[in-house]
A and B are shown apart, each in its own frame.
Chain A
Amino acid sequence: MECIICDKKFEKNILFENDKIIIMLAVEPSVNGHIQIFSKEHHTILEQIPDDILSMMISAANKMSIILFELLKVHGTNIIISNGVPAGQKIPHICIDILPRRTDDNLKLDWNLKQAAPEALDSIHQIIEEGMNKPEEKPLQIAEEKKSEKIQEKTETKKEEPSEVEEERPRERKTNYHHQMFDRIP
């Protein structure tokens, strides 16, 4: 898969790199001093980043925040992860954006404070709780493991069918939202 980050199209922007993370000046910054932190490994969306790498990235984001406070004398920082095209993700390689903020920078990243109706909150709460407790919709990796186990079981019993099964499985998985996201990202 072509990726401007993995292909190092913007090498001149890179500030720091080790075998896990890349810290660089944003390719198309929103403010002066806009930093982006990428994982070295290619991950398109937030849910795909392993926990250990995510915590390295976020810890780096914290440290970058402090560096920006100190060196650029900014009054605040925004740390933003735009996850998916509707969220404004522009590069199909997930990153953490760090925006240095000044009180007079005229950047509006707020939303209108509008109190939600208690009933609306109740119903959303219920939907989310039910969704979280659904056993079959476990994270992608676990689901995949289970599928491969099933395939293995079948290969033991019948020898000719498994190839068909293996071909069909990926197509089924397309309905998974991870794959919908892949399709959507240009």
Chain B
Amino acid sequence: MPEQKEYTEEDLKNMSSEEISELQKQNCIFCKIASKEIPSKIVHEDSDVICVLDINPASEGHILVFPKKHYMIMPHIPDDILSKVFKDVKLMSHTLLKTLQCKGTTVFVANGVAAGQRAPHVLIHVFPRRENDNLIQLPQYEMSDEQILKLKATLKPYLSQVFGRSNIKDAEFIEKKYSEEGKSNEAGDIEENNEEVKNEKEKPSEKKSAQKKSEKKDDDKNKSENSTKDKKVDLDDIAKLFG
């Protein structure tokens, strides 16, 4: 952001994360586009969401869909706004397919600088795709059963916390089969009763993640094991990268 260069790096370092986010909000180009301070080619607009043409298009017809309110990254957007945003994303994708005679569209969101985010305002890119256009192509590799099992052991207990009870039962047995072959800690914990399995599995993984944390972060901030607190810290860390 050109406006931000008025502040020296020193100034930015001394600012709290709230001050920085306030500053970003004031200087945010996309907030200005939403309030029409900066002119743009508006394709569609409603009370919370605006769709404009990107001036640096990946392909002809590249549209940016974003909430008018300032959110840094997508996980910051509350569900009600998010569903409106993606309703418009669907509409824009549909519009591109029917008006530009393309055979596909890509919806792309980057959360964090590491993911390629360039502006501190969440942007949902929707752009037309054509054969051999050399745009985003995801590489692929095969995952071994061991890797699958390891990832599942890390993620699954948290998923059941966040999303509630899962319908899958058969998958548990498959998992059991694999873990019997391996020597993972979970093997002992798996029992016939699904609910017990979940309750018991949460514990070891919490320990695990706590261990990881202490290994990785020896700095002064000893994060509490409270997951909700961690959430906030981590999100802000992602957002802070825009200094």
Contacts and interface: CB of A to CB of B under 8 A. Distances in A.
Contacts, number: 264
Contacts of A79: 74, 107-109, 111
Interface residues on B, range: 35 or more
Contacts of A25: 143, 148, 151-152
B117 interface: yes
A103 B141 CA distance: 20
B185 interface: no
A127 B115 CA distance: 32
Interface residues of A, number: 84
B61 A128 contact: yes
Nearest to A59: B79
A25 B149 CA distance: 10
A167 interface: no
B215 to A, nearest CB: 11
Interface of B: 41, 43-44, 53, 55-58, 60-61, 63, 74-75, 77, 79, 82-83, 86-87, 90, 93-100, 102-117, 129-131, 133, 135-143, 145, 147-148, 151-152, 154-156, 158-160, 162-164, 166-168, 170-171, 174-175, 178, 209, 212, 216, 227, 230-231, 234-235, 238, 241
What 6 A-B pairs are tightest by C-beta distance, nearest first? A84-B104, A76-B112, A131-B99, A55-B83, A76-B115, A75-B114
Given A46-B105, A121-B55, 11 more contacts: A12-B148, A12-B171, A14-B168, A28-B142, A49-B90, A51-B83, A58-B86, A78-B111, A85-B103, A109-B138, A124-B61
